[in-house]
C-alpha cells in the first residue's frame, strides 16, 4: 500500500527529534569555551560534559528496542522526547558543572530511546518496500545533516545569545513531535511474548558497553594506559557473557541468532565499518580547515555545507537505485564513489587544495550513506514481524560502536602519525614542546609566542604532519571500503535476493 500525505507528515515528525539530537551534539562543542568560563569547568569537567551523553547513549541503546517492544514504540518516543526536552532545558539553565553533567546524562538516556524508537517507527509508517527504504534513508541522513549543521547553527546562536541557547534547539524541534506525533504516528506491532525486560541482560549490556566505549575514547585521546586496557578488556568480558546469555534465552534482549544468516551479518558489519570510517574522517576535516587552512569556525562550518548537500543527494538517489539495481551493484557504486572521495581527500590535504578536499568529503558522504543506509534497510526489513525494535537496537548499537571505533582507531592512527612526524625547532621550552605535540592547534598556539623563524618552522612541520596523518587515515578508509566490496561480492554475488529479503532465522527457534 502506497503512503499518503499522513505518512509523509509522520516521517517529518519522526525525523525532527533525530535532527535536533544531532544538532545539539555538535553545536555544544562550540559553546565549551563560554560555558567553561561561566560555570568554572576544568578541562576534565569539559570532557565529561561532552562525553557523558555519548556514554549514556552507548549504554542504553541496546536495551531500548526491547523496551519499545514492551511498552510500545510510539509511547517510548513520546516519553523519551519529553524527557530529552526537559533535560535540555535543565542543561541550558544549569548553574553548576554537576547540574550540567547530570542533565546531559539524562539527555543521553532519552537520546538512546529516541534513536531506537524513530527507526522502528519509520519501518511501521511505510508498508511499501521502496517507500520504506526512502523513509529509513531520510532518517539516517537527518542524523548526518544535523551533525553537519550543528556548528553553523551553534555559531549563529552564540553570536547573539548565551551558551545555553545551543541546547534550546532540542526542545523547540521536539515540541513539533509532541504536538503532532500523537495524531499521526502509528504503533508498530509488538511480539505478544514480550512480557518483561530481562534486567540481568540489561545490566550486562551496560557493563559491556560503557567501559568499552570509555576505553576507546580515552585511547583516542591519551593513548594506551592501564586504565584504558582494564576498561576495554573488562567491557569485552562482560560483552562475551552478555552474548552467551542472549543465545540461551527464549526471549533475548538482543537477538543474536539472526547473525546465523551471513547476509544479515555482512550488512551489519558494513553499517559498522561505514560509520567507523565516516566518523574517523569527519574528526579530521574540521580540524584541518581551522588549524591548518586557518578558517574561522563559522567559515569551516560553511565549507562543510556541500557535504550536507551531498548527503541529501545520496538520500534522494539511493531508493531509486536500489529499486532498479541489485544490492551488489548499488553497494559497489557506493564503495567506488567513497573510495574516490578518500583519494581526493588525501590529495587535497597533502597539497592544501581546499576545493579538492571538499569534493572528496562530498563523495565520501555520498558513498558511505549509500552503504550504511542500504545496510540499515536490509537489517530492518529482515526482522521478523513485531521485532523491528530489536532490529533497530542492532543498527543503533552498530552506529554507536562505529562512532567510538572511528574516534579511537582512526583517530589514534592520525594523531599518532602527527606526533611521530612533527619536528620541533631547537630551543623551545619542554612544556611548549609537549603542547605542540598534543594537537596541531596546540602547535599553532605555541608558534604565536615564538620569533618569526622558529614559528614558521614549527607551523610548517605541524601542518605537514597533520596533513600526512589525515592522508593516511583516508587511505586506510579506502582499504576498508575495498574490504566491504569484497564482503558483499562474496555474500551476494551468487544470490538473487532483493535488499528487502527476510532472514530465515526467527527469534526463539
Are 136 and 119 in contact, with CB atoms under 8 Å apart? yes
Say if 95 falls within a structural domain: yes
* CA distance from start to end of the chain: 30
Q: Picking from 105-114, 234-243, 262-271, which range would have the lowest pLDDT averaged per residue?
A: 262-271
* 83 pLDDT more than 90: yes
Question: Does residue 506 have a pLDDT over 70?
Answer: no
The share of the chain scoring above pLDDT 70, in percent, equals 86
Following DSSP, what letter does each residue of 111-144 receive, concatenated?
A: HHHHHHHHHHHHHHH--SHHHHHHHHHHHHHHHH
pLDDT digits (tens, 9 = 90+) for 400-416: 777 777 777 787 788 88
- Report the range of poorest mean pLDDT among 25-39, 276-290, 426-440: 25-39
Q: Does residue 270 share a domain with residue 240?
A: no
Same domain, 148 and 261: no
> Given phi > 0 = left and psi -120 to 50 = alpha, else beta, which region is 223?
left
Check pLDDT > 80 for residue 448: yes
Same domain, 206 and 59: no
Q: Do 31 and 83 touch, CB atoms closer than 8 A?
A: no
Check residue 502 and give its pLDDT: 40
Q: Can you count the helices (H) and strands (E) in the chain?
A: 18, 0
Q: Does position 344 have pLDDT exceeding 90, yes or no?
A: yes
Of 273-287, 311-325, 490-504, highest mean pLDDT: 273-287
By CB atoms closer than 10 A (0-12, 13-18, 19+), residue 226 is: exposed
CATH assignment of the domain containing 484:
1.20.1250.20
Q: Is pLDDT at 449 greater than 70 in this prediction?
A: yes
| Model pLDDT, residue 474 | 92
Are 335 and 484 part of one and the same domain? yes
When pLDDT is averaged across residues 442-452 and rounded to a whole number, the result is 82
509 pLDDT band, cuts 50/70/90, is: very low
Which range has the worst mean pLDDT, 28-37, 174-183, 200-209? Answer: 28-37
Q: What sign for the dihedral angle of Cα 492, 248, 188, 311?
A: negative
The answer to whether residue 356 scores a pLDDT higher than 90 is yes
What global pTM score does this model have?
0.75
Residue 464 lies in a domain: no
Residue 168 and residue 62 in one domain: yes
The runs of H, that is alpha helices, within 352-426 are 354-382, 388-405, 411-421
Instruction: Kindly state whether residues 134 and 86 are assigned to the same domain.
Output: yes
48 and 141: one domain? yes
Joined together, the cell numbers standing for residue 359 give 569534493
Which of 330 and 336 is assigned the larger pLDDT? 336
The whole-angstrom separation of Cα 73 and Cα 259 is 24
Q: Mind giving me the DSSP string for 249-291? A: -SS-SS-GGGGGSHHHHHHHHHHHHHHHHHHHHHHHHHHIIII
- Residue 437 within any structural domain of the chain: no
The closest of 107, 97, 119 to 20, measured between CA atoms, is 107
Sequence-ordered list of residues with C-beta below 8 angstroms from that of 1, at least 6 positions apart, any chain:
127, 128
Say whether pLDDT at 439 is over 80. Answer: no
Residue 485 per-residue DSSP state: H
For residue 55, pLDDT over 80 is answered with: no
pLDDT at 432: 80
260 and 225 in a single domain? The answer is no
Query: What percent of the chain lies above the pLDDT cut of 90?
Result: 11
Q: For residues 14 and 115, is the Cβ–Cβ distance under 8 A?
A: no
At residue 167 the predicted structure's pLDDT band, cuts being 50, 70 and 90, is: confident
Both 128 and 266 in one domain: the answer is no
Rounded CA separation 367/495 (Å): 23
Given a cut of 50, whether residue 430 has pLDDT beyond it is: yes
Would 444 be classed as within a structural domain? no
- Does residue 443 sit within a domain? no
Cβ atoms within 10 Å of 91's Cβ, excluding its own: 27
- Long-range residue pairs from 85-90, CB within 8 A, at least 24 positions apart, any chain: 85/170, 85/171, 85/174, 85/175, 85/178, 88/24, 88/167, 88/168, 88/170, 88/171, 88/174, 89/167, 89/168, 89/171
pLDDT band at 191 (very low <50, low <70, confident <90, very high): low
| Grid cell listed for 241 | 557473557
Task: Give yes or no for residue 169 having a pLDDT over 60.
Answer: yes
What is the predicted pLDDT for the residue at 505? 35
Overall average pLDDT of the 278-298 stretch: 81
**Across residues 89-113, what is the average pLDDT?**
89
46 pLDDT more than 60:
yes
Poorest-pLDDT segment among 227-241, 383-397, 427-441: 383-397
Q: Is the residue at 431 inside a domain?
A: no
Residue 114 is predicted with a pLDDT of 87
Q: Which has the higher per-residue pLDDT, 498 or 435?
A: 435
Q: Name 468's Cβ contacts closer than 8 Å, sequence gap at least 6.
A: 350, 417, 418, 421
Give the model's pLDDT for residue 47.
65
Residues 206 and 266 occupy one common structural domain:
no
Q: What is the pLDDT of residue 389?
A: 65
Model pLDDT, residue 377: 75
Does residue 232 sit within a domain?
yes
Does residue 365 register a pLDDT over 80? yes
Return the HEC string of 280-332.
HHHHHHHHHHHHHCCCCHHHHHHHCHHHHHHHHHHHHHHHHHHHHCCHHHHHH
How many domains in the chain? 3
436 assigned to some structural domain: no
Pair (90, 231) in one structural domain: no
Q: Is 294 left (phi over 0), alpha (psi -120 to 50) or beta?
A: left
Grid cell 569485552 is found at 236
* Residues of the domain holding 264: 256-408+471-509
Per-residue confidence (pLDDT) for residue 257, from 0 to 100: 79
Based on the fold, state whether residues 279 and 220 are members of the same structural domain: no
In angstroms, the CA 11 to CA 319 distance is 16
Amino acid at each position: 500500500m502506497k503512503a499518503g500525505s499522513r505518512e509523509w507528515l509522520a516521517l517529518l515528525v519522526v525525523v525532527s527529534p533525530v535532527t535536533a539530537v544531532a544538532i545539539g551534539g555538535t553545536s555544544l562543542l562550540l559553546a565549551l569555551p563560554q560555558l567553561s568560563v561561566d560555570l568554572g569547568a576544568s578541562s576534565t569537567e569539559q570532557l565529561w560534559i561532552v562525553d557523558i551523553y555519548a556514554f549514556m547513549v552507548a549504554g542504553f541503546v541496546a536495551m531500548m528496542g526491547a523496551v519499545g517492544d514492551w511498552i510500545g514504540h510510539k509511547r517510548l518516543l513520546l516519553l523519551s522526547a519529553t524527557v530529552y526536552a526537559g533535560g535540555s532545558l535543565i542543561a541550558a539553565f544549569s548553574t553548576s558543572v554537576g547540574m550540567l553533567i547530570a542533565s546531559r546524562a539524562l539527555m543521553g538516556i532519552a537520546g538512546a530511546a529516541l534513536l531506537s524508537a524513530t527507526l522502528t517507527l519509520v519501518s511501521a509508517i511505510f508498508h511499501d518496500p521502496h517507500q520504506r527504504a526512502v523513509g529509513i534513508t531520510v532518517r539516517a541522513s537527518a542524523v548526518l545533516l544535523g551533525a553537519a549543521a550543528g556548528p553553523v547553527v551553534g555559531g549563529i546562536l552564540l553570536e547573539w545569545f548565551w551558551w545555553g541557547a545551543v541546547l534550546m534547539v532540542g526542545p523547540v524541534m521536539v515540541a513539533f513531535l509532541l504536538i503532532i506525533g500523537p495524531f499521526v504516528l502509528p504503533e508498530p506491532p509488538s511480539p505478544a511474548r514480550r512480557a518483561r525486560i530481562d534486567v540481568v541482560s540489561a545490566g550486562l549490556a551496560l557493563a559491556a558497553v560503557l567501559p568499552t566505549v570509555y576505553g576507546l575514547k580515552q585511547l583516542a585521546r591519551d593513548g594506551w594506559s592501564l586504565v584504558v586496557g582494564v576498561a576495554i578488556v573488562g567491557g569485552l568480558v562482560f560483552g562475551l557473557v552478555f552474548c552467551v546469555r542472549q543465545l540461551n534465552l527464549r526471549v533475548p534482549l538482543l537477538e543474536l541468532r539472526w547473525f546465523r544468516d551471513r547476509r544479515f551479518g555482512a550488512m551489519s558489519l558494513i553499517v559498522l565499518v561505514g560509520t567507523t570510517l565516516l566518523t574517523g574522517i569527519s574528526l579530521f576535516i574540521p580540524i584541518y580547515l581551522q588549524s591548518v587552512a586557518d578558517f574561522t569556525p563559522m567559515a569551516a562550518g560553511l565549507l562543510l555545507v556541500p557535504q550536507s548537500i551531498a548527503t541529501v543527494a545520496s538520500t534522494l538517489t539511493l531508493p531509486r537505485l536500489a529499486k532498479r539495481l541489485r544490492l551488489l551493484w548499488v553497494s559497489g557504486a557506493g564503495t567506488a564513489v567513497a573510495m574516490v572521495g578518500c583519494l581526493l581527500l588525501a590529495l587535497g590535504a597533502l597539497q592544501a587544495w581546499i576545493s579538492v578536499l571538499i569534493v572528496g568529503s562530498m563523495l565520501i558522504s555520498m558513498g558511505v550513506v549509500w552503504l550504511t543506509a542500504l545496510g540499515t534497510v536490509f537489517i530492518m526489513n529482515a526482522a521478523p514481524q513485531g521485532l523491528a525494535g530489536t532490529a533497530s537496537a542492532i543498527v543503533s548499537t552498530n552506529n554507536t560502536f562505529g562512532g567510538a571505533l572511528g574516534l579511537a582507531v582512526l583517530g589514534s592512527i592520525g594523531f599518532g602519525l602527527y606526533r611521530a612526524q612533527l619536528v620541533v625547532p631547537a630551543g623551545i621550552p619542554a612544556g611548549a614542546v609537549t603542547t605542540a605535540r598534543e594537537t596541531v592547534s596546540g602547535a599553532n598556539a605555541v608558534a604565536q609566542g615564538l620569533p618569526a623563524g622558529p614559528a614558521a618552522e614549527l607551523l610548517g612541520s605541524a601542518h605537514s604532519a597533520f596533513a600526512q596523518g589525515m592522508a593516511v587515515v583516508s587511505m586506510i578508509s579506502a582499504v576498508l571500503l575495498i574490504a566491504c566490496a569484497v564482503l558483499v561480492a562474496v555474500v551476494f554475488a551468487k544470490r538473487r535476493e532483493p535488499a528487502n529479503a527476510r532472514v530465515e532465522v526467527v527469534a526463539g527457534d
